[in-house]
Structure 1
Amino acid sequence: MEKGECKNVYKVYNKIGSWFAENRAADLVEKAYLNDILEHLPAGAKVLDLGCGDGKPILEYFIKHGINVLGVDASTQMIELAKANFPTTGFLLKDMRELDLEEEFDAIIAWHSFFHLPAGDQPNMFAIFKRHLKPDGILLFTSGTERGEVWSMNGGENLFHASLATAEYQTLLLENEFKLLRHKINDPDCGGANVWMAQYKPR
C-alpha cells in the first residue's frame, strides 16, 4: 500500500467508488442517530455531510425529510455518483481537512468518513467542525474505540482507518466547546459503530 493512500484515502474511493455504492449497506442502521439530529434541527435548517459518498443512504434520508444538505467528498468518483443520484442537491469536491466555507450549518455529519483520516490530522478537524457550525449545532461522527490503525479490504483495495483514544476525543470536544450528547461504543444496533454526537455550545 502506497503511503499516499494512508494520507489520502479518497484516492482509493476513486478506484472503488462504483463497487462501494453497490455494496454499501442500504438498510439505514444509522436511522436512530439521524432522527436525533432531525429533532434538534430548526425550520429551514441546513446540514453538511462530510464524506457524503454517493449520497445514499444518509444524505438521501435528510432530503426526504425536506432538509437542505450540502454534500462534500474528496473523491471525484463519489461526487459524480452523488450528483447523478441527486441532481438538484449541492455537492462540493473538497478534502474535509481543507474545508473553509463562509457558511455555518445546523448539523455536520462525518459518518464513516472522519475515521479515514490519519490520527495526526484528526485533532485539527474539531476547529473546522466548530467553525462551520451554528451555536447549538449538532456534530455526528464515528471513530474507533482506541488509538491505532486498521486496514480492511473493500472492492479489492486495502482501506485505511485510524482512531484516537476515547479520552482524546472527549478532550478535543471539550476544548472546542462541544457538549457530548451521546457516545455509543460498538453499537450493536448500528453495525457495531462507535458513535459520537455532540452539540456546539460556544461560551
Structure 2
Amino acid sequence: MVAEDERRVPAAVVFDALGLDYEKAFASSEAHRASLRWLLDRLAPGSRVLDVGSGTGRPTAETLTGAGHHVLGVDVSPVMVALAARQVPGAEFRRADIRELPLQDGAYDAVCAYFSLLQMSRAEQSAVVRRMARAVRPGGLVALATVPLDVEGVEGVFLGQPVRVTSFAAGAFTELATGAGLTVLAEERAEFAPAHPDAVPEPHLFLHCRRPAQ
C-alpha cells in the first residue's frame, strides 16, 4: 500500500462513497461487456490479467476469473477493494495506486483499464499507459476505456459526488496509446446513460490494443 498525498485522495474518497452504486449505474453497459468478450476471444487459457481500477470486481474481474484467468485487481479505494474481494473471491485485489505500483516488464498477458484514468492529469495518464504497455508481454493485450472529451482539470459531479476530471478527445487518446508503443487493433464508441438519478448520458471510447511482438 502506497501513501496517498492530497492529489490522490479525491479518487479514493469518491469511490469509497459510491461503493455498489457505481456497479449498479454501469451494470448495463453492453460496450464494456463487448470489450471483455474481445479479450476473452484472444486470451490463452489461464492468462494473467491486471485490472487497473478494479472497482467492485464486476463485471471485469468476475468475467475474466469466470473464464479461468488469473486476475490481479488494483484500486485506490479501500471500500471498492473490500467489495471486490467479497464479490469475486477467485481474483486477488490490492489497494494500490497504479502510478506507483511496481510493475515487472512483461509480467501479464493482458492489462485493462476501464475508465480508471479520468482523475489523473494528462501527464499521469500518458505515463500510466506507457507503464501498462510495458507490463504486458510482447504480443500481449491492453484494453482501455475513457470518456473522450477534451477537458483538463474540470470540476464536476459524478453520480452525485464532486470530482475533478481530465480527459482527451478521441483522436488524442488513440495517439496516447500508440505513443506508448501499442498497436490499436480496434476502436469502439458508444453512448451510455448510467442508471443513476444524477447521471447524464456520456460518450464512451474503448481501445483494444496489442503490444507488438519482439
Per the TM superposition, whether the score is higher than 0.5 is yes
Structure 1 residue 119, shift from structure 2 partner: 2.1
Structure 1 residue 82, shift from structure 2 partner: 0.8
Contact 1:105 1:137 (C-alpha < 8 Å) held by counterparts: yes
User: 1:28 and 1:66, CA in 2 relative to 1: closer, same or farther beyond 3 A?
Assistant: farther
User: 1:148 and 1:178, CA in 2 relative to 1: closer, same or farther beyond 3 A?
Assistant: same
Q: Using the alignment, how far apart are the partners of 1:183 and 1:155 within structure 2?
A: 26
Equivalent residue for 2:169, pick from 165, 179, 203: 165
Q: Using the alignment, how far apart are the partners of 2:134 and 2:186 within structure 1?
A: 21
Deviations 1:27-65 (A, max 9, x none): 351221111111111222111110000101121111221
Superposition CA RMSD, Å? 2.6
Equivalent residue for 2:150, pick from 144, 147, 151: 147
Structure 1 residue 121, shift from structure 2 partner: 1.3
Residue 116 in 1 paired to residue 119 in 2?
yes
2:71 matched residue in structure 1:
69
Structure 2: gaps (5+ residues): 1-5, 194-201
Matches within 5 A, 1:29-178: 29=30, 30-102=32-104, 104-149=107-152, 150-178=154-182
Structure 1: gaps (5+ residues): none
TM-score of the pair, normalised by structure 1: 0.84
Please state whether the residue corresponding to 2:118 is helix, strand or coil: helix
User: 1:193 and 1:172, CA in 2 relative to 1: closer, same or farther beyond 3 A?
Assistant: closer
Q: Using the alignment, how far apart are the partners of 2:122 and 2:176 within structure 1?
A: 13
Q: Using the alignment, how far apart are the partners of 1:24 and 1:9 within structure 2?
A: 17
Q: Using the alignment, how far apart are the partners of 2:142 and 2:80 within structure 1?
A: 22
User: 1:20 and 1:168, CA in 2 relative to 1: closer, same or farther beyond 3 A?
Assistant: closer
Q: Using the alignment, how far apart are the partners of 2:101 and 2:9 within structure 1?
A: 16
2:25 matched residue in structure 1:
24
Q: Percent identity?
A: 24
User: 1:146 and 1:155, CA in 2 relative to 1: closer, same or farther beyond 3 A?
Assistant: closer
1:10 matched residue in structure 2:
12
Question: Amino acid of the residue matched to residue 199 of structure 1?
Answer: R
2:206 matched residue in structure 1:
195
Please state whether the residue corresponding to 1:116 is helix, strand or coil: coil
TM-score of the pair, normalised by structure 2: 0.81
Please state whether the residue corresponding to 1:55 is helix, strand or coil: coil
